[in-house]
């Protein structure tokens, strides 16, 4: 498969995002095991941030999948709607 420059950049950015997300998961795991006595609002805030970043990572992976499967150029594929991205995430 021949990838143009935009697609290569999207793939590299998504790989970097997934690597940083795995570090975030490790930090959250350590936080929840170590600081059990923290106030509840702090723990809920960490869960909320983790949830939002999970959605962001899933959507970026779905976008790269849809862009790489498309035979069109990236600008047309970048106009994907939210339902199309959600269908790609949920299968």
Distances (CA, A) of 19 to 31, 35, 44: 19, 24, 24
pLDDT digits (tens, 9 = 90+) for 15-26: 999 999 999 999
Q: Which of 19, 89, 20 is nearest to 55 (CA)?
A: 89
In tens, the pLDDT along 24-67 reads 999 999 999 999 999 999 999 999 999 999 999 998 888 888 88
Q: How many H-runs (helices) and E-runs (strands) does the chain carry?
A: 4, 0
Tokens (6 digits) for 53: 């970043």
What confidence score (pLDDT) does residue 34 get?
96
The predicted structure's pLDDT at residue 4: 74
pLDDT value of position 91: 67
This prediction has a pTM of 0.72
């Amino acid at each position: 498969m021949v990838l143009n420059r935009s697609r290569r950049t999207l793939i590299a950015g998504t790989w970097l995002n997934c690597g940083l997300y795995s570090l975030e998961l490790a930090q959250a795991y350590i936080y929840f095991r170590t600081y059990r006595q923290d106030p509840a609002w702090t723990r809920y805030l960490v869960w909320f941030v983790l949830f939002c970043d999970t959605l962001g990572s899933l959507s970026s992976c779905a976008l790269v999948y849809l862009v790489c499967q498309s035979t069109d150029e990236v600008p047309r594929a970048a106009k994907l709607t939210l339902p199309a991205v959600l269908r790609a995430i949920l299968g």
